[in-house]
Amino acid sequence: MPLENPFQDPLRFERRIPECAVAIFGANGDLTKRKLLPALYRLAYERRLAPGFAVVGISRTPMSDEQFRASMHDSVAKFLEDSPFDEEVWSAFAQGLYYMPGDIGDPASFTNLAAHLKQIEDCRHTAGNVLFYLSTQPSQYATAAKGIGAAGIAQGKGWRRIVIEKPFGHDLESARALSNELHEVFRESDIYRIDHYLGKETVQNILAFRFGNGIFEPLWDRRYVNSVQITAAESIGVEGRGGYYQEAGALRDMIQNHLLQIMATIAMEPSATFQPDAVRDERAKLLRTVRVMKPDEVLANTVAGQYGPARIGGADVVGFRQEKGVDPESQTDTYAAATFFVDNWRWAGVPFFIRSGKRLPKRVTEIAIQFDAAPHAMFGDNGDEATPNLLILRIQPEEGISLRFLSKRPGAGMKLRPVSMDFNYGSSFGERSPTAYETLLLDAMIGDATLYTRQDMVEASWGAVEPILDVWQNHKFDFPNYDAGTWGPKASDEMLARHGQTWRTP
C-alpha cells in the first residue's frame, strides 16, 4: 500500500480531512446548530471532507435521521457566516448525517452508538476514525467519556479523539479531577480542549508576525517593551445567561482561559518547529512562569467590577443584579482586571495588564505592546513627543496590526505628532477567513492540536488565577462599581496609575 497519497499538491490544495465520523453529544443544542454544523457544512462546501464523511448526532430528543437532517438544514442555512448555502452541496452532505436519541446517563445509549458507528464505518468507509464532540454541560464530560470507554468505542480500528469545550473545571482541583477522569478513557494526546479564541485567524497571525519576521523579535523583551495591555471588551450584558454567568464571572470565563492563552502566545519563546507539541510546550512553559500572587498582593494587583444600570443611547440598561436569574446581592465579577508578571529572563519586570468585561463601551479584543520612550528628548518637550511607540494587534472586530510612531508635523519648526501605520487583515487579504470552529474542527480531524489547550496549560493558568479567586471569594465588594457603557471601575485606572500607566481607549 502507498504510504502517502500521491495526488497531494500542497501548494494548491487546501488541507484535507481524512475519512472519519464525528459523534456530537448535545446535537440538538445551540452550539451544534449555530457553530458546529455550519462549520462542518462549510468544510464540505470547500470540498475538504472525505467522500464518506459522516456525523452522528446524539441528544435526548426523539428524532429520526430525516428530522435531524431537516432541522440541521434550517440551522445551517440560518447561521452560515459569509458564505452561500448551496442546496446541492447540502443534499450530498446531509446523506452523511445520522441521528440517534440517547441519554449520556444511560449506558445503553453508548452501546447503540457503538452499533451506529460500526454501521457507518462499513457503509461510508470511515476507516474506524471517530471524533467525539461533547457539546454538553461540562458536568457531563466525565460521564460521557466513561460511557464511551465502557462501550469499547474509545479505541477501535482507526483513531479516536474527544473534543471538550471550556470551562475545564472551575478551579485547579476540579480541572485536575476532570483530566484524571478523561485520562481513564483517553490518552492526553487524544483530548482536544477547545479554546475558540486560539482558532481566530489573527491569534494565529501573532505567531506568523512574531516568528515569521526578523525585525520584531529582537525588540520583544524587557529591554524594549515597557508594558503589555490585553483587552477583551464586550458591549453586551449577560444576554439571558445570568444564571450561568453568576457562577462563572469574568475572571473565570475570560481571563483564566482565553486571555491567558493570548498572553502566552504573545510572550512565549519561539518553538524550534511548528509541530503541535513544540508550540504547546512553549505556551505551557510561559504559563508556568506567570508569577502567582500572594494573598496580600491580590487586591493591589487585581480589580473586580460589576456593572450597574445606566442609560445608553436613549435606552435604559439594567444592571447585572437586575438581570434575569441573577441574585440581587450577587458578588459576581462582570469585569476583571489583573496585573501579571512573567518571571523569566525575557519578561522580568514587564507588567502585563489584562482586562475583560461586559457592558463596556464597545466590543473589542486587542493587545497593545508599549515600547519604551526614546532615551533622550532631543526635540524638547513639545507635548506629543512623550508618546511611546505602540504596536497594536487587533483580534476583533477589525483584525489587523497597527504601529504607532512619531512623525514631524508638516511646516516650520520641529513639532512631532503620533501617526499610525496600519495593516488591516480583512482588507489586505479579501479572502473570507474561516471561522474559528472551521479551523478547530478541521485541526481536530487532521490530528493537529497546536491550537488546542493541553492539561498542563489548563493547570498552569488555574495556578495563576486561583489565588485571585480565593481572595475575591472572601472579600465583600461594593458592587455595582461601574456604569454599563463605561470602561470599568475607577479602581482599574488606579491599578495602572500605580505602575505609571493608563489604560488605552481602544
Partner 1 sequence: MSATIQPERVLRELAELWVTLGKESDPSHSSGVLRACTMTLITLVEESEDPSDVWSTMAALMPEHPSRAIVVRFRESASRDLSSRVFSQCWMPFGHRRQICCEQVEISASDASLPDLAPVVLPLAVADLPVIVWCRSPRLFRLPDFPQIDKIAHKLILDSSAFPDPAGILAQIRDGKKVVGDLAWTRLTHVRELISQIFETRDYLARLPGVNQVQVTYGGSVRPTSAYYLAAWILDCLEKAGAHPQLSWVAAAGEPAGRIFGIELAGSADGGLRVNISISGDRERQYAEVQIDSLPTHTAFPPDNDYMLLREELGIPARDAVYERTLARAAELAGEKR
| Residues of the shown chain interacting with partner 1 in the complex, contacts defined by CB under 8 A | 1-2, 5-9, 11-14, 16-19, 45, 47-52, 86, 88-89, 91-92, 95, 123-125, 127, 397-398, 420, 422, 424, 426-431
Which of residues 6 and 214 has its CB atom nearest to partner 1 in the complex? 6
Nearer to partner 1, 371 or 423 (CB): 423
Q: How many CB atoms lie within 10 A of CB 419?
A: 12
Q: Find the shortest distance in angstroms from Cβ 401 to partner 1.
A: 12
Structure-block grid coordinates of residue 354: 489584562
Specify the DSSP element, H or E, that contains 405.
Answer: strand 400-408
The tally of CA atoms less than 13 A away on the side-chain side of residue 375 is: 2
Nearer to partner 1, 51 or 314 (CB): 51
The residues, ordered by sequence, that sit 6+ positions from 309 with a Cβ below 8 Å of its Cβ are 316, 317, 318, 319, 322, 480, 483, 484
Distance of CA 450 to the CA centre of its chain: 13
Q: How far is the CB of 422 from partner 1 (least distance, A)?
A: 6
| Count of Cβ atoms closer than 10 Å to residue 415 Cβ | 15
DSSP-assigned letter for residue 475 = S
Task: Give the type of residue at 386.
Answer: A
Residues 232, 353: Cα–Cα separation, whole Å: 11
Q: Closer CB to partner 1, residue 48 or residue 252? A: 48
- Is-contact 181 213, C-beta < 8 A? no
- Answer yes or no: are the C-beta atoms of 313 and 473 closer than 8 Å: no
User: Which residue in the block uniquely carries the three cell numbers 465579577?
Assistant: 333
The residue type at 148 = I
Min dist. Cβ of residue 418 to partner 1 (A): 10
Tally the C-alpha atoms within 13 A of residue 167's C-alpha that lie toward its C-beta. 22
Between 92 and 348, name the residue whose CB sits nearer to partner 1: 92
Residue 299: strand, helix, or coil:
helix
The runs of H, that is alpha helices, within 213-275 are 242-248, 250, 260-267
* C-beta of 5 vs 213, nearer to partner 1: 5
Residue (of 73, 69, 35) closest to 55 by Cα position:
69
From the list 73, 116, 196, 258, the catalytic residue is 258
**Residue 107: which H helix or E strand, with range?**
helix 107-124
Our answer to whether residue 196 is catalytic in this structure is: no
**Smallest separation, CB 11 to partner 1 (Å):** 6
Query: Minimum distance between the CB of residue 225 and partner 1, rounded to whole angstroms?
Result: 26
Half-sphere exposure in the Cβ direction for 411 (13 Å, CA) = 4
Cβ of residue 398: shortest distance to partner 1, in angstroms? 6
Residue closer to partner 1, measured from CB, 17 or 303: 17
Nearest approach in angstroms of CB 40 to partner 1 is 15
The residues annotated as belonging to the active site are 258
